[in-house]
Amino acid sequence: MKLMIAVIQDKDVPKLMDALVRVGYSATKLASTGGFLREGNSTILIGVDDDEIENVLEIVKNTCRAREQLVTPITPVGPAESYVPYPVGVVVGGATVFILPIERFVKV
């Protein structure tokens, strides 16, 4: 038995949750915040049997896509920092998935 922890962009949550539920997986969504862009993320907790890991990973790959987003850099604080006065393209989205062994999984 494994605990899969997927950190994804909020835009991808509805597609992922629908796809998981459609094939019978239960998942818990936790709100979280990204560090670099300080935007909303979600952390999805999924308890799965060892032989189901690849199936769930495939669902995550198919629903959580990376995309480019324009970001306006913040003004530099110190004199040594450089400043780019126009929006810059940054790749966001996709998923970061952690897979941890668990001893027991109980639904009450």
What is the CATH number for 13?
3.30.70.120
CA distance 47 to 65: 22
Please report whether residue 82 resides in a domain. Answer: no
pLDDT at res. 15? 95
The count of domains in the chain is 1
Domain of 16 in residue numbering reads as 2-66+94-101
Given a contact cutoff of 8 angstroms between Cβ atoms, the answer to whether 69 and 82 are in contact is: no
> 92 vs 17, which has greater pLDDT?
17
pTM equals: 0.76
Give me the chain's average pLDDT, please.
84
The answer to whether 105 and 52 have CB atoms below 8 angstroms apart is no
Which pLDDT band holds residue 39 (cuts at 50, 70, 90)?
low
The predicted-structure confidence for 69-95, as pLDDT tens digits, reads as follows: 666 666 666 666 666 667 766 666 689
10 with 42: CB under 8 angstroms? yes
